[in-house]
Amino acid sequence: MAQILVFPIVLLLTFSPSSYAKCAYEAIFNFGDSNSDTGGFYSAFPSQPSPNGMTYFSKPTGRTTDGRLYIDFLAQAMGLPFLSPYLQSIGSDYKHGVNFAVSASPVLQPNTSLFDTRVSPFYLAVQINQMKQFKARVDESKSQGETNLPQPDIFGKALYTIYIGQYDISHDVASLGADGVKQYGPQIVQEITNAIKELYRLGGRSFLVLNLAPMGCYAAVLTQVSHDESDIDQSGCMISFNNAVRDYNSALKESLQQARQEELKDANVIYVDNHAIQLDLYQNPTSHGLEHGITACCGYGGGSYNFDPQVFCGNTKEMNGQKVTASACGDPEKYVSWDGIHLTENANKIKASAILSGSYFDPQFSLNQLCDIQPIG
């Protein structure tokens, strides 16, 4: 029987600068999953428990971490407010962008329901269709003076960020091993490339496309995917799983390069080596002022992983006749992993700083030449 890897659906004071920094990009349009969801999933299904949000907001905000995500830090660095989720009907302001990312969203259309396998119905093509609808609404409302929408010319002056595929690859590798990536990887890559082309036709010209993280370092993977001790590296990560992710990332990089040479010659389509950034965090946490690499801050079970797939961060469940709670550590700023899958706020900040440096871009691309990058903190 195929092994199904279970990833939990878990769940800034609003950053409002008095004046926006000088930047060629006046908005961010983001597409993805829980790694960059700022509240979309929990706008549709409100139920996120504490301690999510404990560090910065002092309450859950729909972000799957203790505070801010890397997309929050990118917006702050560009002098923009935090992105409102597309699915959030109350209090949203879309003048400087929209967040279409929704937790647990795959690239490919799921063939099962949210309640059966915890996969979101807001897969990538749905997010792109939402973007099309948003643009149509902006174009229609030009003369109606709607205050929470941008001007129609915003789409050519925006940065488009895409980070998605974690669910697809984790499911494929857990079910089929490395062959799962070989079987479904090309289709996933093609869907992402097609999405970029769709956004290009809507006016987008600058894209940051993050490759996938080293999921073999996730406590959720290490506790649920069978492996031999010989398959674990010195930092505690699963070698075969990370190799499968690297194969996928290589295919994504090649596809983006081909798209640049053909249909997207006048666009900035930037491949971001997120894998290298996060691998360094897991393997060398102390080099970044952290103490714990693969161990989850918020979880249950203790030990090297502090992760139990039966009780996710913030949840309480009866196990072996007693109630147990997956609670948070008291010092999340010292951890890379928040809940066995997602990064802590501090790790997200380090990741955003690495992205902003431009050192992980292919081809070379400097945001500093287009934006007066603001300090993040």
Residues that are catalytic: 34, 339, 342
* 3, 174 Cβ separation under 8 angstroms: yes
Cis, bond preceding 81 (omega within 30 deg of 0): no
How many of the other CB atoms lie within 10 Å of CB of 358? 15
| Per-residue tokens: 75 | 């917006």
Strands (E), 198-310: 206-210, 268-272, 292-296
* CA proximity to 152, closest of 88, 227, 102, 203: 203
Element (H, E) at 319: strand 316-319
Q: Which two tokens stand for residue 301?
A: 């079970």
> DSSP labels for 172-184?
HHHHHTHHHHHHH
Record the tokens describing residue 327, joined without a space. Answer: 């609670």
- Pairwise CA distance, residues 236 & 5, whole Å: 19
Q: Distances from the Cα of 298 to the Cαs of 70, 228, 316, in angstroms?
A: 19, 26, 12
How far apart are alpha carbons 235 and 75 in whole angstroms? 32
Tokens matching residue 98: 């929209």
Which amino acid would we find at residue 302? G
Which residues have a Cβ under 8 Å from the Cβ of 372 and sit 6 or more positions away? 21, 22, 23, 79
Sign of the Cα torsion 306, 309, 312, 317 reads: negative
Distance between CA atoms of residues 248 and 215, nearest Å: 12
Q: From CA 48, how far away is CA 64, in angstroms rounded?
A: 9
The conformation of residue 225, written as its DSSP 8-state character, comes to S
Question: Which 8-state DSSP code applies to residue 49?
Answer: P
